[in-house]
């Protein structure tokens, strides 16, 4: 059971680390507020590409490149693990197990007239 969730935990740690690095980096490099730094990080990770909240210097542009590649890597990692989960037979095993449980469930007659 622990191994099943390890990929999810890694992806979540990577995601929140990427957000943390982006927020701290943008706050320091661009001298912007926390909420503006969160906004910049999210629009960069999601590749939406809305207008920047401040003029970008060279360091902030490099940070954006890092965040973009990190976001793309995270999506690739997540999709790979999802496909591996589906192809690994986990879904089919769960469906098969559920069918068997329904088919062979024990029916206990109840006698309420005691």
Token digits of residue 66 = 């890092």
- Unique residue bearing structure tokens 């793309």: 72
- In whole angstroms, give the CA distance from residue 8 to residue 81: 9
Task: For domain 2-80, give the fold.
Answer: Helix Hairpins (1.10.287)
pLDDT digits (tens, 9 = 90+) for 50-77: 888 889 999 999 999 999 999 999 999 9
pLDDT of residue 73: 93
Dist. CA 93–CA 35, nearest whole Å: 45
The reported pLDDT for the residue numbered 4 is 63
Residue percentage of the chain with pLDDT more than 70: 84
Question: Does residue 81 contact residue 7 with C-beta atoms inside 8 Å?
Answer: yes
Name the more confident of 65 and 114. 65
pLDDT score, position 22: 95
Q: Two tokens at 3? A: 């191994």
Q: Kindly give, in sequence order, each residue whose CB lies less than 8 Å from that of residue 61, ignoring residues fewer than 6 positions away.
A: none
- Domain range annotation of the chain: 2-80
């Amino acid at each position: 059971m622990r191994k099943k969730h390890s990929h999810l935990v890694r992806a979540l740690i990577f995601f929140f680390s990427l957000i943390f690095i982006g927020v701290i980096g943008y706050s320091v490099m661009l001298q912007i507020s926390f909420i503006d730094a969160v906004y910049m990080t999210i629009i960069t990770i999601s590749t939406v590409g809305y207008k920047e909240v401040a003029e970008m210097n060279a360091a902030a542009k490099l940070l954006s490149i890092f965040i973009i590649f990190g976001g793309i890597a995270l999506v690739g990692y997540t999709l790979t693990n999802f496909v591996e989960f589906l192809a690994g037979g986990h879904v089919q095993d769960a469906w098969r197990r559920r069918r068997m449980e329904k088919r062979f469930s024990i029916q206990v007659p109840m006698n309420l007239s005691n």
